[in-house]
Amino acid sequence: MKEKEFIKAIISTLKSNYIGDDCAYLKDLGIVISQDSLVEDVHFKRELISPYQLGYKSVMVNISDICASGGEPKYITISLSLPKDTKVDFVKDFYKGAKKACNNVEIVGGDITGSDKIFVSVTAIGSSKNRKISSRGNAKPGYKVIVSGEHGSSAYGLNLLLKGENNPSKFIDAHLMPKAQVDFSKQIATKIKEDYAMMDSSDGLADALYQIASASNVTISVDTNKIPHDKTVDMETVLYGGEDYQIIAAVPENFLQKISNYTIIGDVEEGPANLKIDGVINTEVENKLYNHF
Amino acid sequence: MKEKEFIKAIISTLKSNYIGDDCAYLKDLGIVISQDSLVEDVHFKRELISPYQLGYKSVMVNISDICASGGEPKYITISLSLPKDTKVDFVKDFYKGAKKACNNVEIVGGDITGSDKIFVSVTAIGSSKNRKISSRGNAKPGYKVIVSGEHGSSAYGLNLLLKGENNPSKFIDAHLMPKAQVDFSKQIATKIKEDYAMMDSSDGLADALYQIASASNVTISVDTNKIPHDKTVDMETVLYGGEDYQIIAAVPENFLQKISNYTIIGDVEEGPANLKIDGVINTEVENKLYNHF
């Protein structure tokens, strides 16, 4: 798994405390920042996503990262690289989609350059004002594991698209036009006093749970019967499919009375760092991690 | 010129006030932000730049953007996309170079993904605390036009490299290992009270002067005899060669007593928006703009 090897090399070269969470929390500036790229033929196929959808999704995945940190999404910059034969309409539609994803977030800059393939790199900035910022290393034994909504629909939709199908629209939309959990994450980050762990399910539910377990050195135990999902979607896809952009959080049990619209799917237990699914320690998650390399 | 057409499409789609300067100034957060990409075979050739130099330059050009805004460079995120056959040593050397460019700036995040060609997108964050932020639209008649150092050396160095030459090192280094004018921009941004225009010469001296003239609706008149440059380098390259990352500023004349190490190269006059070189209105600059599309 080359991505991991590369990340190890980066960490050992930089010796930074910041690499680890999806967002970096820059306390002195009161902001969180996230940067993510979408590369043609790695993250998307041009035939399967419209310019509008690509613009939308590029922005939304970064807004989701800010939400997962607990920050308030505020500003976006977009670096867009396009092949020479790209039509102006592509750029217009891309930015219409990007704007659609923004709601109150503002696109404030970036650049546009040439390239062989389409390359999008988006940076999102959030404010930590009146928010408590999460870290995946903050889960503690006794905490409850909650999620904001259904898992697996996006990956199921991608499989439909790959088979040339465009229905049911629920799954297609889940993949092409996902929604960041802005309100769900806001209620947690504005109301919680204790340290807590929060991630989005960009790389899948099992991945997020495993990352929190590893960073917090705890065992996370989940009950698959409790995981919200469409009954059409198999549990393998629910657990390992990525890009639903739901929120996964580990919070103190007594905090739950302050929020709504959550589903409890499991518990945080004493370490070692493990993911237990229906009582069985999962040894596959590391191999199954949604990986773009 | 397709880049311009694309930028027009972006501006008309977004209807944003932010697009225009190299950095966006986010007043409510007290920060400036810049994002720039370097694409293999568009901005650089793999044979002509080492991974260390690429990491260094990717970071430095963004630090230079923050300096040109008047902000204090603080944090960097890096999105790196690499072909599958890339060796771990490439990543290590890239990040060593990136770190070298940072000085007090900290690399706090980003991502790493696969791609066909090397693609680097860097975001830089600066603080506006105790700084007055510049805008290219702030030049006023009567202001003096100053620069921080020599122009044309980087483009001259690139031409040497393209011819397979590696000497003189002055020019090669100017192209591969440019230095952002951190101290020069700091003295201006921390001492000035009046509105002022400032840019770096990433796209060349004439381009920067023309951009300031256009955004400020003034005529900028420069004297080529006064432009600092190595005498080996011809005036065409001094004016139109890019990537020197020197600072170009238009400031009130009476402010100059507060700063040092500058060279006055011209004056800001009443509009219309024009660049006058040695008394002659320059009509070529728009066509000669350093362009990556």
Check residue B282 and give its pLDDT. Answer: 86
Instruction: List, for residues A82-113, the tens digit of each pLDDT value.
Output: 998 999 999 999 999 999 999 999 999 888 99
Instruction: List, for residues A213-252, the tens digit of each pLDDT value.
Output: 999 999 999 999 999 999 999 999 999 999 999 999 999 9
- Indicate which of A119, A128, A135 best probes the interface with B, i.e. most B CBs within 10 Å of its own CB: A119
Q: Mapping DSSP to helix (H, G, I), strand (E, B) and coil, where does residue B5 land? A: helix
Question: Is a pLDDT exceeding 50 seen at residue B99?
Answer: yes
Check residue A7 and give its pLDDT. Answer: 82
Which residues are bridge partners to B126 per DSSP? Answer: B32, B73
Handedness of CA B49, B52, B53, B58 (dihedral sign): positive
A196-210, B246-260, B276-290: least confident range: B276-290
Q: Which residues of chain A have pLDDT under 50?
A: 1, 290-293
Q: What is the mean pLDDT of residues B148-161?
A: 96
Query: What is each CA distance from A285 to A6, A20, A82, A144, in whole angstroms?
Result: 19, 18, 35, 21
Contact B10 A95 (CB under 8 A): yes
Residues 6+ apart with CB under 8 A from B23: A109, B32, B33, B34, B65, B66, B68, B69, B71, B126
| Domain parsing of chain A, residue ranges | 22-127, 136-288
Q: How many alpha carbons lie under 13 Å from residue A93 in its C-beta half-sphere? A: 11
Q: Which residues of A touch B292 (CB under 8 A)?
A: 113-114
Q: What is the mean pLDDT of residues B15-26?
A: 81
What average pLDDT is seen over chain A? 93
Q: Which residues of B touch A12 (CB under 8 A)?
A: 92
When comparing pLDDT for B3 and A73, which is higher? A73
Contact A115 B117 (CB under 8 A): yes
Check residue B164 and give its pLDDT. Answer: 94
Check residue A129 and give its pLDDT. Answer: 97
Residues 6+ apart with CB under 8 A from A193: A132
Check residue B286 and give its pLDDT. Answer: 67
Q: What is the DSSP letter of B106?
A: E
| ipTM of model | 0.89
Question: Is a pLDDT exceeding 90 seen at residue B110?
Answer: no
Query: pTM for this one?
Result: 0.91
Contact A33 B96 (CB under 8 A): no
Nearest one of B139, B245, B265, B267 to B184, comparing CA atoms:
B245
The residue to which tokens 């899948």 are assigned: A204
Q: What is the mean pLDDT of residues B250-268?
A: 98
Instruction: List, for residues A105-124, the tens digit of each pLDDT value.
Output: 999 988 899 999 999 999 99
Check residue A286 and give its pLDDT. Answer: 67
Confidence of residue B246 (pLDDT cuts 50, 70, 90): very high
Handedness of CA A104, A105, A107, A108 (dihedral sign): positive
What average pLDDT is seen over chain B? 93
Check residue A287 and give its pLDDT. Answer: 65
Confidence of residue B10 (pLDDT cuts 50, 70, 90): confident
Tokens at residue A219, please?
Answer: 């065992």
Confidence of residue B290 (pLDDT cuts 50, 70, 90): very low
Check residue B288 and give its pLDDT. Answer: 62
Confidence of residue B4 (pLDDT cuts 50, 70, 90): confident
Question: Is a pLDDT exceeding 50 seen at residue B102?
Answer: yes
- Note whether A211 and A265 are within 8 A (CB): no
Cα–Cα distance measured from residue B39 to residue B25, given in angstroms and rounded to the nearest whole number: 26
φ/ψ of residue A117, rounded to 5: -115, 165
B22-127 maps to which CATH number?
3.30.1330.10
User: What residue of A is the nearest CA neighbor of B44?
Assistant: A115
Check residue A14 and give its pLDDT. Answer: 87
Q: Mapping DSSP to helix (H, G, I), strand (E, B) and coil, where does residue B12 land? A: helix
B136-288 CATH pick, 3.30.360.10, 3.40.1160.10, 3.40.50.1950, 3.90.650.10: 3.90.650.10
Hey, what amino acid is at B242?
G
φ/ψ of residue B52, rounded to 5: -60, -45
Question: Is a pLDDT exceeding 80 seen at residue B55?
Answer: yes
Q: Mapping DSSP to helix (H, G, I), strand (E, B) and coil, where does residue B197 land? A: strand
Cα–Cα distance measured from residue B264 to residue A117, given in angstroms and rounded to the nearest whole number: 44
- Note whether B50 and B93 are within 8 A (CB): yes
Distance from CA of B177 to the nearest CA of A (A): 20
Q: What is the mean pLDDT of residues B127-148?
A: 97
- Note whether B43 and A113 are within 8 A (CB): yes
φ/ψ of residue A263, rounded to 5: -125, 125
Distance from CA of A79 to the nearest CA of B (A): 7
When comparing pLDDT for A15 and B31, which is higher? B31
Cα–Cα distance measured from residue B207 to residue B211, given in angstroms and rounded to the nearest whole number: 6
Check residue A21 and give its pLDDT. Answer: 77
